[in-house]
């Protein structure tokens, strides 16, 4: 029987669609460096260049651990967060290390895991040794994507989140978080748009301890948070680059309007500010009081008048930093942001986006 033109057309269309099906499954994204990354399907065997980015994947996936086969131990999850993930996802202990500290990466260990994606950071892109490692990994047929939640957090966090969402099948949740973040950021920036609004001088004392004063921030990371929250970072003109040191005499002479210290559990052995994941409020308060009453610090007007606060240092490598920006905005401009509740923002992130709950003390105020 002679085949009709209509039937021939239908069969040709079916053949065309069938041939195109494998191409439709391809996943494409431009990474933070503008490099095109192409995957045959959403990544399900990922190697993380930074272990703490497991929590970023957790903003998009109910079980991020099931997608990760290897990770570099440099910039690992902090112990309480790792414990929370281990309790819910015991298989996390099956993830293989592919490098330790100092940003080293074992190309052989990565290739042996047969991953479908290696995630590196902007810091890796600036490292000649890591550039060589990337070339070798890609030569083995493993796609590499660069993201950034640290070097330029406000500029790159949401694009990086969406890049990972596109490459791992987490687009919808990445978009949902991006909307959540953007709404809160715009609420802050719109209220600070008045050029007549005075921006207080702020000193950010990072990894704060009463001795060896004082490490502070110049450009990037916390500087961006301070500026967005409506403050003037006095460290910006005092140190070159991202991080530098000033003397206690400089700090006393500058006498900033607001003093902010960062700390974490890592500061305990140094007698510094202890707060963050796994830290009880009383422990944070005691360490903060010890810092504020140390010689020199107690002479600062900001401390005498209660305009001092401590915040968790590890807000600096996650889109969750939006809660820190809210906290700083309220600290710098309490009348403008009286209705803002950064604690509520953290709770909503935890209930809407994170697969685990982590106890901790994220900030502390003088005279609280």
Specify the pLDDT at position 319. 95
Give dist(CA 199, CA 201) in Å, integer.
Answer: 7
| Residue matched to tokens 């590890």 | 314
Q: Which long-range contacts (CB under 8 A, 24 or more apart) does 125-133 make?
A: 125/33, 127/103, 129/103, 129/104, 130/103, 130/105, 133/105, 133/107
Q: What pLDDT digit, counting tens, does each position of 176-209 carry?
A: 999 999 999 999 999 999 988 999 999 999 999 9
The answer, yes or no, to whether residue 13 has pLDDT greater than 90, is: no
Instruction: Establish whether domains 23-169 and 196-365 are of one fold.
Output: yes
The answer, yes or no, to whether residue 141 has pLDDT greater than 90, is: yes
**pLDDT mean over 252-267:** 95
Question: If you classify domain 196-365 with CATH, what class do you get?
Answer: alpha beta
Give 334 or 212, the one with higher predicted confidence. Answer: 334
Q: What pLDDT digit, counting tens, does each position of 51-101 carry?
A: 999 999 999 999 999 999 999 988 899 999 999 999 999 999 999 999 876
| Cα angle: 161, vertex 166, 168; to 5 degrees | 90
Specify the pLDDT at position 21. 42
| pLDDT-derived band at 242, boundaries 50, 70, 90 | confident
Specify the pLDDT at position 368. 55
Specify the pLDDT at position 101. 66
Domain coordinates in residue numbering, the chain: 23-169, 196-365
- φ/ψ (deg, to 5) at 43: -60, 135
State the CATH architecture for 23-169: 3-Layer(aba) Sandwich (3.40)
What global pTM score does this model have?
0.90
**pLDDT mean over 4-16:** 38
CB 145 within 8 A of CB 163: yes
CA distances from 10 to 5, 18, 20, 187, 203 (A): 9, 12, 15, 54, 71
Q: Are strands 46-48 and 117-121 parallel, antiparallel or unpaired?
A: parallel
């Amino acid at each position: 029987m002679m085949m009709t033109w209509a039937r021939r057309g239908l069969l040709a269309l079916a053949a065309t669609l069938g041939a195109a099906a494998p191409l439709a499954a391809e996943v494409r994204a431009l990474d933070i460096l503008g490099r095109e990354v192409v995957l045959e399907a959403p990544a399900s065997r990922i190697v993380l260049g930074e272990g703490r980015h497991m929590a970023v994947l957790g903003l998009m996936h109910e079980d991020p651990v099931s997608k990760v086969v290897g990770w570099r131990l440099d910039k690992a999850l902090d112990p309480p967060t790792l414990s929370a993930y281990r309790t819910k996802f015991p298989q996390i202990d099956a993830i293989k290390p592919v490098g330790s500290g100092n940003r080293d990466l074992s190309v052989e260990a990565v290739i042996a895991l047969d991953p479908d994606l290696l995630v590196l950071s902007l810091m890796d892109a600036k490292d000649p040794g890591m550039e060589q490692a990337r070339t070798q990994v890609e030569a083995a047929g493993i796609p590499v994507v660069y993201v950034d939640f640290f070097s330029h957090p406000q500029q790159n966090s949401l694009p990086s989140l969406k890049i990972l969402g596109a490459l791992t099948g987490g687009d919808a949740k990445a978009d949902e978080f991006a909307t959540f973040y953007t709404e809160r950021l715009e609420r802050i920036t719109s209220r600070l748009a008045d050029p007549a609004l005075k921006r207080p001088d702020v000193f950010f004392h990072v990894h704060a301890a009463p001795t060896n004063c004082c490490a502070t921030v110049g450009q990037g990371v916390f500087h961006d948070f301070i500026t967005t929250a409506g403050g003037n970072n006095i460290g910006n003109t005092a140190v070159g680059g991202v991080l530098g040191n000033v003397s206690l005499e400089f700090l006393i002479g500058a006498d900033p309007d607001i003093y902010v210290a960062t700390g974490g559990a890592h500061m305990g052995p140094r007698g510094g500010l202890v707060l963050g994941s796994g830290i009880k409020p009383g422990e944070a308060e005691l360490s903060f009081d010890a810092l504020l009453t140390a010689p020199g610090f107690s002479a600062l007007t900001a401390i005498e008048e209660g305009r001092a606060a401590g915040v968790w240092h590890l807000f600096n490598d996650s889109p969750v930093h939006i809660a820190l920006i809210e906290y700083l905005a309220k600290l710098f401009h309490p009348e403008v942001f009286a209705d803002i509740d950064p604690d509520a923002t953290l709770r909503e992130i935890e209930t809407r986006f994170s697969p685990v709950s982590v106890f901790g003390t994220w900030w502390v105020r003088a005279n609280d």
